């Protein structure tokens, strides 16, 4: 059940209506789950779990907000997700057609939407950009989420042992996250040579021998925390694996230290590419995407491709890989660089530095 922050809700309405004024829109229709969640401060309009399209639609004008859903969904979503918000409920019957097209009946003039609707302009990315910077309340929720995930992953690690299949490990992760009403949108599990062979190892019947990589990209209250951890069963890490993992965390420190307001994302990536070449891995940047901005969306890479400037209070999902190893922690941009939210000491930590900036990142856990 969602308990919206009313001050945040007023801020969301203000941002959206300023956008409408600047761009000449009379109405905005929000149907995607990430935008419904952002506007309602954590509300979820899902029924189906396998789609980003929600089962409830918001129609926002310059002086009102309407919520529209089929009769079979409207009361539940309205009661559980929109408590205390000045949103008027409308309903329709399942045989009256598509929800978004039906929502157009409540509009006049120029309409923007976050999906493709006949008669409206699809402005999905414009609307996503309004999510940032996150409010102070959202940043607080994210810090809490980072700590929860760090503890969850440490608890899961205690249950993993050689002889388990990747499917067994996947089930442990799903159970642990599910108990906290968290849903992994992506769940990767790889062991031993499959980590070396695949950048995205989905679970298989293969049984764990020495090394396992786990990556739950999960959400709670519609904020996403995408994290990767590795565990090695033995007294000492293989030298090559330790060398790669240290380099990856050094590059993570480089990115986080440079992620300050006014710096372009692509400029940070160019520095990473240069460092990879200096360390003897000139082509590795080509084989895996280099990170994204997260939040109510699981991840968007447009800020990086567009070389947009870093903003404060923006959650980052910076994944860095070399063949056979990967690092990925939840972070939040600040005026002084990125703050790591998912390394709270529940997992073994190791210190890394980049030009005076110091970070403690999770190490490969030895068991």
pLDDT tens per residue across span 26-57: 999 999 999 999 999 999 999 888 788 889 99
The rounded mean pLDDT for the chain is 96
- Where b means 16+ CB within 10 Å and e means fewer, 280-313 reads ebeebbeeeebbbbbbbbbbbeebbeeeeebbbb
State the pLDDT at residue 50.
78
State the pLDDT at residue 51.
84
Q: Which long-range contacts (C-beta less than 8 Å, at least 24 apart) are formed by 239-248?
A: 240/324, 241/211, 241/324, 241/325, 241/364, 242/364, 244/322, 244/324, 244/325, 245/325, 245/327, 245/363, 245/364, 246/352, 247/279, 247/281, 247/322, 248/320, 248/321, 248/322, 248/325, 248/326, 248/327
State the pLDDT at residue 17.
98
The residues of the chain scoring below 50 in pLDDT are none
Domain residue extents for the chain:
6-129, 136-366
State the pLDDT at residue 290.
86
CATH for 6-129 is 3.40.350.10
State the pLDDT at residue 189.
98
Task: Looking at the structure, give the CATH architecture of the domain made up of residues 136-366.
Answer: Alpha-Beta Complex (3.90)
Q: Which long-range contacts (C-beta less than 8 Å, at least 24 apart) are formed by 273-282?
A: 275/250, 275/251, 276/251, 279/247, 281/247, 281/322
């Amino acid at each position: 059940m969602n308990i919206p922050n009313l001050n945040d809700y007023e801020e969301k309405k203000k941002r959206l209506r300023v956008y409408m004024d600047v761009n000449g829109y009379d109405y905005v229709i929000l149907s995607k789950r990430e935008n419904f969640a952002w506007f309602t401060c954590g509300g979820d309009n899902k029924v189906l779990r396998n789609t980003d399209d929600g089962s409830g639609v918001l129609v926002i004008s310059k002086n009102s907000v309407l919520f529209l859903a089929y009769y079979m969904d409207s009361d539940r979503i309205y009661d559980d997700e929109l408590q205390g918000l000045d949103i008027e409920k409308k309903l329709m019957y399942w045989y009256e057609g598509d929800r978004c097209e039906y929502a157009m009946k409540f509009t006049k003039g120029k309409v923007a939407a976050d999906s493709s609707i006949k008669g409206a302009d699809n402005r999905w990315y414009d609307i996503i950009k309004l999510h940032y910077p996150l409010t102070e309340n959202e940043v607080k929720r994210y810090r809490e989420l980072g700590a929860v995930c760090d503890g969850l992953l440490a608890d899961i690690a205690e249950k993993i042992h050689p002889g388990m299949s990747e499917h067994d490990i996947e089930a442990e992760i799903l159970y642990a996250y599910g108990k906290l009403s968290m849903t992994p949108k992506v769940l990767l599990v790889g062991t031993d040579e499959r980590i070396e062979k695949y950048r995205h190892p989905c679970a298989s019947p293969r049984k764990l021998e020495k090394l396992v990589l786990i990556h739950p990209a999960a959400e709670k209250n519609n904020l996403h925390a995408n994290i990767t951890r590795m565990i090695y069963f033995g007294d000492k890490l293989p030298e090559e694996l330790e060398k790669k993992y240290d380099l990856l965390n050094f590059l993570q420190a480089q990115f986080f230290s440079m992620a300050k307001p006014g710096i372009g994302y692509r400029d940070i990536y160019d520095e990473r590419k240069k460092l990879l070449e200096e360390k003897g891995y000139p082509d590795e940047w080509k084989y895996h995407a280099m990170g994204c901005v997260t939040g109510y969306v699981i991840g968007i890479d447009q800020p990086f491709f567009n070389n947009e400037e870093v903003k404060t209070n923006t959650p980052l999902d910076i994944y860095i890989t070399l063949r056979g190893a990967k690092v990925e922690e939840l972070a939040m941009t600040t005026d002084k660089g990125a703050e790591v939210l998912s390394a709270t000491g529940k997992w073994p930590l190791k210190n890394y530095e980049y030009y005076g900036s110091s970070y403690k990142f999770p190490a490969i856990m030895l068991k």
